[in-house]
Amino acid sequence: MINYSEDPNRQYHIQVAPGEIGRYVLLPGDPKRCEKIAAYFDDPHFVADNREFVTYTGTLDGVPVSVTSTGIGGPSASIAMEELVRCGADTFIRVGTCGGMQPEVKSGDVVISTGSIRMEGTSREYAPIEYPAVADLAVTNALVTGALAAGLQPGVQSASELGPLVPYSVVYTGSSPAAAPAPAADSAPAADSVLDADPSLAADPSLPADSSLAADPSLPGARYHLGVSQSKDAFYGQHEPEKMPAGYELLAKWEAWKMMGCLASEMESAAIFIAAMKLRARAGACFLVAANQERARLGLHNPVAHDTDLAIRTAIGALRELIREDQARRS
């Protein structure tokens, strides 16, 4: 294809050249997060900044590693991957944020995606919709190792561990779902045990309250969850579906994803997993749970978490594990 870059040695969008990155690359969305991630590398240095793509390279355990931001959504994420592969990368970990979809998935937790629902457009230009967007198993296992090293406790590990579904009426009647009334400003948030049908959702008294966790996500008690995530294109389609002309479809599908045990919603992983398979690369993903609109709807405590450090530490630990495994295979 035509190289549109002014410098023919550099990739058009990311403005990176071969030899400037490692084979292992972390993919945050936010360009401003790259410097924070690079601080975990040894000897990090700035490589490039073009459009939404910011790149730093350093080393972990003596092996070159990089971080490149992708902006929001699948189109720019797939562009970054295509061009990074041309520069020598073959292992990718998406590290970002998500919204929880099951009551067990709380603010400040980390979700490790094993596969992603392809409710976005980019992956459809790579593969027919019947082809699954699945994370690489070695990368996923390394993320679990990284999560444990970061001090996260195991949370949901399979759909069999989820509580009974509390469905919207829209699933059965086609009517609009009624959100749970918000607690009064001077009242305490509802306890998890409000879901009497599933006592396992009750707060564990041995763990810190969510409000403390949101203030300091590094506190013991934060959990990692393992399962399917959903990728979408429209942020406000998720959060305000009733205002969308296609809201009837958005609401019905949201209920279907919940019924199937989907843990979280975000905007990149499906495109990343599909692009990786086409590119003969490896990819995985982990996300900080920023909040959970389903917990809010049920009147459960739902603070907003902003500190992505636990997700970053999970991804850094995963890179170290992959480096160790890859070196062991070559020796």
Q: Name the one residue in this structure whose structure tokens are 């902006």.
A: 71
- Alpha carbon distance 241, 116 (integer Å): 20
Q: What is residue 167's predicted lDDT score, i.e. its pLDDT?
A: 59
Q: What is residue 166's predicted lDDT score, i.e. its pLDDT?
A: 62
Tell me the pLDDT tens digit for each residue of 6-49: 999 999 999 999 999 999 999 999 999 999 999 999 999 999 99
Indicate whether 205 belongs to any domain. yes
Indicate whether 1 belongs to any domain. no
Tell me the pLDDT tens digit for each residue of 190-215: 545 434 334 334 443 333 344 333 33
Which CATH number do you get for residue 103? 3.40.50.1580
Number of domain units in the chain: 1
Tell me the pLDDT tens digit for each residue of 12-23: 999 999 999 999
- Paired tokens of 184: 């009064």
Indicate whether 250 belongs to any domain. yes
Angle of helix 309-330 relative to helix 137-149, nearest 10 degrees, comes to 120
Amino acid at 6: E
Q: What is residue 163's predicted lDDT score, i.e. its pLDDT?
A: 85
Indicate whether 46 belongs to any domain. no
- Alpha carbon distance 217, 211 (integer Å): 10
Amino acid at 152: L
Tell me the pLDDT tens digit for each residue of 224-235: 999 999 999 999
Indicate whether 108 belongs to any domain. yes
Q: What is residue 217's predicted lDDT score, i.e. its pLDDT?
A: 42
SS3 48: strand
Question: Mean pLDDT score of the chain, rounded to an integer?
Answer: 88
Indicate whether 300 belongs to any domain. yes
Q: What is residue 168's predicted lDDT score, i.e. its pLDDT?
A: 56
Indicate whether 218 belongs to any domain. yes
Indicate whether 24 belongs to any domain. no
SS3 292: strand
pTM equals 0.86
8 Å CB contact between 299 and 190: yes
CA distances from 155 to 95, 108, 224, 292 (A): 19, 12, 5, 15
Please list the residues that pair with 285 across neighbouring strands: 94
Q: How many CA atoms lie within 13 A of 88 on its CB side?
A: 14
Domain extent, residue 122, equals: 90-330
Which parts of the chain sit beneath pLDDT 50? 169-187, 191, 193-220
